[in-house]
Amino acid sequence: MLNKVQLIGRLGKDPEVRYTTEGEAVANVSIATTESWKDKAGGKQEKTEWHNLVFYRRLAEVVGEHLKKGALIYIEGKLTTEKYQKDGEDRYITKIVVSEMKMLGGNKVSDEHQVAEPVAKTSARNGNNGAGKSAKQAGPEPF
């Protein structure tokens, strides 16, 4: 079986990084992907989808240190669905647990936000740094 997601999109806001009681970093961010096409009348149509992403450990730290609202990124990960209750009703939220992230060029950011240069390749499993433009982590375990 396969559960794999690949997306290229822009961050909707600055990442939110928090730490578990064990000291492990967790970053949450949402990215937008936009599809555009021409309708039958020749008019331009657009649809934007928002995707909730979660990063763990060293990859979460990299995201918090180097990404800002508007940054263009490529991610790979897996879909997860979490169930919670609000006002006594069951609700569900779908997230993508990211295992690999690459910062892409052509950053379209607002004046008050600057996107850092690409970071070294990072592996959360062994903590090694390389010379790539991506960050990758081992499969996350739930916290």
The count of domains in the chain is 1
Element (H, E) at 52: strand 44-56
pLDDT the model gives residue 131 = 37
Which DSSP helix (H) or strand (E) runs through 40?
Answer: none
Which residues of the chain fall below pLDDT 70? 106-143
- 9: domain CATH number is 2.40.50.140
Residues in a beta bridge with 5:
77
CA 17 vs. chain centroid, Å, equals 12
What is the span of the domain harbouring residue 38? 5-103
In the prediction, which pLDDT does 26 show?
96
Is 78 within the bounds of a domain? yes
pLDDT score for 137: 52
Per-residue tokens: 109 = 């950011």
With respect to residue 38, please indicate whether it lies within any of the assigned structural domains: yes
pTM for the whole structure = 0.71
| pLDDT reported for residue 72 | 96
